[in-house]
Amino acid sequence: MIPSEVHHRIPQPEAARIAAVILAAGQSRRMGQPKMILPWGNHTVIEQVVSVLVEAGVGEIVAVVGGAQRQVEAALDGLPVQPVFNPRFDEAEMTASLQTGLTSLSPDIPASLVVLGDQPQIERTIVVAIMDVFRATNADLVIPSYQMRRGHPWLIARSEWDGIWALRPPDTMRDFINRHAGRIHYLNVDSPSVLKDLDTPGDYARERPTTVP
């Protein structure tokens, strides 16, 4: 569950300026169609992700696009999010996307959430709790954990961004996290949503809302 100490906000000048990088550059090969623009309730998948981040009070949002670029950017049109193109989206997809996204953030941002664009199951309360943990602890990494399994979104402090920018294939974000295991502040949650995303038509059929909110 979410620890009680993070339910109380600690006011800080930068409290509203935690950012989010949405990784939305994938080619949706297993889905067979662009999954970011699939319907999700009365939104598309990517719109649902953005709306949760906005409701949680994220101060700056960047969406890294690549596959189906024009369609994803059209879905984001009019939303408080900056689309940024990852020219290497067909190579080291997620690592290169995170590198691109972090580079695009404002210089006063102290930390950023790393958000999956295909995780419309994302929950506002968990996003808020992750940001509150960072504000309370200044941890280098804050990662939600469900039944001892790491999930998304997770947060990385600016002090660790150089380590992300230095990653080169075959190194991945998982390798980075494993090398920094001693710096992780785990947020234990009671929802499996942090482990879910949409990879296949089966995932979409199983997870898609049956009613419009």
Residue-range domains of the chain with CATH: 4-206 (3.90.550.10)
pLDDT in tens, 54-80: 999 999 999 999 989 999 999 999 999
90 vs 135, higher pLDDT: 135
Cβ neighbours, 10 Å, residue 139: 20
C-alpha to C-alpha distance for 105 and 21, rounded to whole angstroms: 9
Read off the tokens for 170: 């075959």
Q: What is the pTM of this model?
A: 0.90
Contact 18, 155 (CB under 8 A): yes
What pLDDT does residue 90 have?
Answer: 78
Smallest CA-to-CA distance from 172 within 96, 67, 102 is with: 96
* Type of residue found at 31: M
Contact 141, 133 (CB under 8 A): no
Phi, psi of 94 (to 5 degrees): -75, -40
pLDDT band at 126 (very low <50, low <70, confident <90, very high): very high
DSSP 8-state code for residue 52? H
Cβ neighbours, 10 Å, residue 177: 17
What pLDDT does residue 145 have?
Answer: 98
Quick check: 183 pLDDT over 90? yes
